[in-house]
Structure 1
Amino acid sequence: MRYFIALALFVVPAFLWADDWEDRLVFNDAASADRIRVISSTDTVLFAPLIEDFVAQNPNVSVEYLVSGTADIDRRVRETSDAFDIVISSAMDLQLKLANDGYARLVNDIEVPHWAQWHQSLFSFTSEPATIVINRAAFEDKPIPQTRQALIEVLRTRPEEFRGKIGTYDVRQSGLGYLFATQDARASETYWRLMEVMGGLGVRLYCCSGDMINDLADGTILVAYNVLGSYAAVRTEGKDALEVVLPSDFQTIMMRTALISSATDQPDAAEAFLRYLVSETPGSTGSKTSLPLLEPDSGATDQESISLNPALLTFLDTLKRRKFLSAWEDAVIQ
């Protein structure tokens, strides 16, 4: 399937030309195809196989794929909701608030488990854990920590080895980073102890998982905390120097979600794309994705994943967010 960077003026509305997208690609450039615009936080290399498969099954639809950060997606959709047809993000809380605030189109008769959708307007299609990724060079002949407490003990025991060599999200800028942080804090006080230790060692702060993994690979950092599982799996494949750890004390599992913009001017094509994403056989024509697609029959997902419910909105409250970020800065910015 052919896809290319959209260069012609007619491809994108004029007001989008000033935007600084992380990536922008068009799949299926047939002049007769109905174009839908998908804004997403997922790197194109991970999502392209699904779009290729979709347009192979739906040759009358063209997909313009626009990549941006999770917090930026929320801002863009609120400012110009009619600029996008599908909104995809790993920041479940921001997505739920968009749906609650009327930015999502109601879609009836989609058969998904109750825990994988919100009021028939927001739908989950992947299940992905937050992970710890380490550079094995730092743990040669030493046990690799499998829990947050074990990581704390390693950092306290060998501070000079890890000073300036630890990475995590800047939760002030990253929507997904903020989601992971608030969920970790709700699950255990260990999170705050870990943040204090990392802050005392001059933790490096990142916008996204990909940048953390790049710095792990070249030795800039030796440990990265809360790296998104799908990125960790893809980016560490074939790299013997790196190891992905699923913490055994507790796991934070995010479900990537999609919604149709309430302002879409291509409702039929957008709905076809959404139904494809939540279908049981995405990628059926041979295009394989590394995204861990949701398994509707998995009973464990309901219990282990962050739930799509009003509790997700708690830390989006202005006062609660300000209080959380203040506590986070006190721990991390030392």
Structure 2
Amino acid sequence: MKRRSFLSLMLATPLLGAGLSGGAAQERQPLVLMGTEAPEVMRGLVEALGQSAESGGLAVDYRQARPAQIVSRLSSQADAAALPHLVLLPTPDLAVYLANEGHTLPQALPAGLQAPHWRHEVFVVGHDAAVFVTHKRRVADEEGPRSRIELARMLERHRSRFQGRVGLVNIGIDNVAYGYAAQDSLRSALFWRISGAFGASRARIFDTPEELLAALSEGIIDFGYNVPLSAARRAASNDPEIQIIIPQDYVLALPWTVLVPARAGRQDGMLLPSELVGLFFLPPVRQALSGMGLIPIGAGSGMENMQMIELGPELLVFLDPLKRSRFLDTWFQQVVQN
């Protein structure tokens, strides 16, 4: 018998959508999506998920949470009804951790669709590249570094010029920044040299990429390092003076992943569709991901030397408490110099 599509399965599930019974409207539980981005950033994606004709006008409820809160929620013994149906994470290490700990539900993509995944439980829906950012009026085009060696030389040769004028995202607070730093340290012998150069330049450290980009726009800093392309594109759309520089030596790209919490798979006695993650591969949703500044799966990036981080247990190395503590200690010693 021909397998029904994941859309028909969703629309047949009382957990999702809305319908009429006996001439009276009856509310049904919406699809709950949890992620780390602010609601205004997610608005286009939520609309694409919920209003696409192909998804039958599915109602979507988006809830924002910090990565640590998501991990805690999925790994605790909280009521299954309080869990989201889908989770979108920009931190692949935490997604793999949740899968390895048994907190995710296996899924199958609809026929004809392919995407990188980990054990059919964590699926890559796009990548976010790490870029450099400058302000056009304060950093001449020929002055902006195009590679990490050029960046190191710029900071070392023009220390007084950039004193207090460069910015980093705090890798001890921001999980994406930590992921970029960890992967950068594995790929470049220049990582610690650059970290030291930032320290000698008395770099300003910001809690989030958005705070760094706001400081760039306001004239507080002139340069930012390892900023997510998605955040940089949003900032540049509001301030055309923000210049995005794609590193020419290599471009780190962290995968954004989607997963279904294991205990959310059975709520009110009803089983969630086994192809629920397929929603993220519908054309309108892929367009929305691109509109957020991500590089959707299968889409060309136009960037050379892109290194897309793969899902796997090796991502868990830098989650080890001892490894993480030592890495953060060394980083702060380098970039926070008295």
Could you tell me whether the CA contact under 8 Å between 2:167 and 2:203 is conserved in 1? yes
Q: Distance in 2 between matches of 1:48 and 1:176?
A: 21
Determine whether 1:236 maps to 2:236: yes
Shift of residue 146 of structure 1? 0.5
Residues 1:184 and 1:302: Cα distance change in structure 2 (over 3 Å): closer
Matches within 5 A, 1:1-334: 32-56=27-51, 57=53, 58=55, 61-79=58-76, 80=78, 82=80, 83-110=83-110, 112-113=113-114, 116-140=116-140, 142-237=142-237, 239-264=239-264, 265=266, 274-279=277-282, 281-283=283-285, 289-296=291-298, 304-334=307-337
Q: Name which one, 1 or 2, has greater alpha-carbon Rg.
A: 2
TM-score by length of 1: 0.81
Aligned length in residues:
305
TM-score by length of 2: 0.80
Could you tell me whether the CA contact under 8 Å between 1:36 and 1:270 is conserved in 2? no
Q: AA paired with 1:329?
A: F
Could you tell me whether the CA contact under 8 Å between 2:45 and 2:288 is conserved in 1? no
Q: Percent of pairs identical after alignment?
A: 22
Q: Distance in 2 between matches of 1:254 and 1:81?
A: 31
Residues 1:144 and 1:284: Cα distance change in structure 2 (over 3 Å): closer
Q: Distance in 1 between matches of 2:305 and 2:139?
A: 35
Could you tell me whether the CA contact under 8 Å between 1:164 and 1:202 is conserved in 2? yes
Shift of residue 287 of structure 1? 10
Shift of residue 210 of structure 1? 1.5
Residues 1:161 and 1:269: Cα distance change in structure 2 (over 3 Å): farther
Give the equivalent residue in structure 2 for 1:13.
Answer: none
- Secondary structure class of the residue paired with 1:233: helix
Q: What runs of 5+ residues in structure 2 fail to find an aligned partner?
A: 1-16, 19-24
Q: Distance in 2 between matches of 1:186 and 1:247?
A: 17
Could you tell me whether the CA contact under 8 Å between 1:92 and 1:308 is conserved in 2? yes
Could you tell me whether the CA contact under 8 Å between 2:152 and 2:197 is conserved in 1? yes
Q: Distance in 2 between matches of 1:69 and 1:133?
A: 25
Residues 1:246 and 1:70: Cα distance change in structure 2 (over 3 Å): farther
Single out whichever of 127-136 and 264-273 deviates more from structure 2. 264-273
Shift of residue 297 of structure 1? 7.1
User: In angstroms, what is the RMSD of aligned CA positions?
Assistant: 3.1
Q: Distance in 2 between matches of 1:33 and 1:108?
A: 25
Residues 1:69 and 1:270: Cα distance change in structure 2 (over 3 Å): farther
Q: Distance in 2 between matches of 1:31 and 1:134?
A: 53
Could you tell me whether the CA contact under 8 Å between 1:130 and 1:228 is conserved in 2? yes
Residues 1:109 and 1:34: Cα distance change in structure 2 (over 3 Å): same
